[in-house]
Each structure stands twice: as structure tokens, then as C-alpha cells.
Amino acid sequence: MMPISRQPLAEPPTGLSTITRHLPAGGGVTAHRHDVHQIVHAGRGVLSVITDAGSWVAPATRALWIPAGTVHRHRAHGQTVLHAVGIPADNNPLGLDRPAVLAVGPLLRELIIAYSRPELVDTDEGSRILAVLLDQLRHSPQQALHLPVGRDSRLVAVCELLRADPADQRTLAALGADVGAGERTLTRLFAAEMGMTFPQWRTQLRLHHALRLLAEDVAVTTVAHRCGWSSASAFIDVFRRAFGHTPGAHRAAG
């Protein structure tokens, strides 16, 4: 993953932190930062946010929390409708200092969509909507959809091999042989730099990839194959445990 510059950056083309935008498949928003916190939700499609610390991905049943000052960029997977809500930097209802993926129920979803109209900002109606939105946000559980990046060149090289082919079934020892690192060393690096085991990281990578493929209307069986699951049923089981519903239900909701 290419590093994101920490130099002062212009706002994205809209110049707004509260907005609704339509993004084509594969489109996105270039690296930028906001002076306010931001909640970003894909009313349609799948949206990812990328920082130097990794990437987070959110389908239509999730939202992305982006703290004020975080340099980030967005990428759309499938035809995507981006709804962004700006929250004053002195109001952090989640107490989080890094991006996160949050569960979005029907009420919170509608509040985000409603408040993402810039004309409501700084109006009495907008203030009432924002107050309820923040109350709902405080009760939104975080979802484990973060794909961290490493710093050690050997760890980065292994991760790039799997990013290029998420279906690669090689063991950590076999992957390490390709990059000149032992299994024990890589196991330690995954724990120290990623905060997770190698199997956990690979499952996260495959789920991220699966969400992108589903957004492109790829068949569930094909998604399972391309992401490295032994069967469609195995993929469906892991997907249901991660998101609370099947890939088919996910596609219908999107």
C-alpha cells in the first residue's frame, strides 16, 4: 500500500465535510483531511477509507468514523453513493482517535442520509437531526473490519503477495521463503505490528476483497473461489459470522 503524504493537503474537490456524492465504481476521493470528525456512509455500494495505518471497508450496513485531522482517501467499490456528516472536533461521541467501522441500524442510516444534505448544516432542523444522530452513534458497536499494514519490509512483502492473490493458500512458512523470512519471525511481526495473527489478517483481507467483488455483482460462488475459501458454504459461514447476514442478503440490502 502506498504511503499517504503527511504534508498539508487541500480538501477534496467539494471542499465540504457534510455532503452527498455519487462515485463511479473504482472512483474515489484523493488524500485529504478535515478539521472536524466525519461519519461516512455508503447509501449504495461499498466504501473504503485508506490511511497510513491501513484500510477500513464499509458496506451499506456499516459506516466509517474518521477523526478530525486524519489524512485519508476514499475508494468506491461498485456504483457508490457517499453520505458524509461533519461533527465538530470538540465533540467526539465515540472517544476514538483513529478510523473505525460502525454498525448502522435503520434509524441511524436515515439520520446520516438526511443530515448529509449541506443545506441543513447550521439550521435548527439540522441541529435537531444531528443531536439524535449523535445519540444513536454512541450506541453503535464497532466492527472488526480494519486491515492494518506493517512497517517491516519482510512483513510488507508477504502482505503484498496476498493482496495480489487473496486466494493464495500457501502457509506462512512458504510465503516467508519467498521474501527471505522465517515463519517464527513473521509470526512475531504479525503480532507486534498488526495486532493479530496471520490467519486473522488473511481472513480480514479476504473479507475486504469479498465485499468489493460483491459490490461488482460477482456471483457468490465465484467470490468464494477468488478469495480463497474452499467452498461457497465455507465463505457464507465466515461472512455471516462477520456481518450477521449472508452474502446474498448483503447484496439485496445494498
The reported pLDDT for the residue numbered 118 is 81
Place of cell 476514538: 96
Please tell me the distance from the alpha carbon of residue 243 to that of residue 237, in angstroms, as a whole number: 10
Cell of 46: 461499498
Please tell me the distance from the alpha carbon of residue 43 to that of residue 109, in angstroms, as a whole number: 8
Asked whether the beta carbons of 78 and 58 are under 8 A apart, the reply is no
Q: What is the phi-psi region of residue 95: left when phi exceeds 0, alpha when psi lies from -120 to 50, beta otherwise?
A: left
Which one, of 209, 245, 241, 249, lies nearest residue 225 by Cα? 209
DSSP reduced 3-state for 152? coil
| Burial class of residue 104, CB neighbours in 10 A (0-12, 13-18, 19+) | buried
* Full set of structural domains in the chain with CATH: 19-146 (2.60.120.280), 150-253 (1.10.10.60)
pTM, full prediction: 0.80
The reported pLDDT for the residue numbered 246 is 86
Please tell me the distance from the alpha carbon of residue 140 to that of residue 134, in angstroms, as a whole number: 10
Instruction: For 212-225, write each residue's pLDDT tens digit.
Output: 898 888 999 999 99
Cell of 174: 512458504
Using a pLDDT cut of 70, give the percent of the chain over it. Answer: 92
Please tell me the distance from the alpha carbon of residue 38 to that of residue 82, in angstroms, as a whole number: 12
Q: What is the chain's pLDDT, residue by residue, as a tens digit (254 residues)?
A: 434 433 333 344 444 578 888 999 888 889 999 999 999 998 888 889 999 889 998 888 889 999 999 999 999 988 888 999 998 898 888 888 889 999 888 999 999 999 988 888 789 998 999 899 999 988 888 777 889 999 999 999 999 999 999 999 999 999 999 999 999 999 999 999 999 999 999 999 999 999 989 888 899 999 999 999 999 999 999 999 888 888 877 766 65
Beta bridge partners of 229: none
Cα dihedral 188, 191, 196, 200, rounded to 10, equals 0
Asked whether the beta carbons of 167 and 225 are under 8 A apart, the reply is yes
Q: How many CB atoms lie within 10 A of CB 205?
A: 18
DSSP reduced 3-state for 112? helix
Q: How many CB atoms lie within 10 A of CB 145?
A: 22
The reported pLDDT for the residue numbered 105 is 87
Indicate the angle between helix axes 172-179 and 153-164, nearest 10 degrees: 110
Which one, of 48, 44, 40, lies nearest residue 60 by Cα? 44
Phi and psi of 59, rounded to 5°?
A: -80, -170
Instruction: For 166-206, write each residue's pLDDT tens digit.
Output: 999 999 999 999 999 999 999 999 999 999 999 999 999 99
The reported pLDDT for the residue numbered 112 is 93
The reported pLDDT for the residue numbered 13 is 41
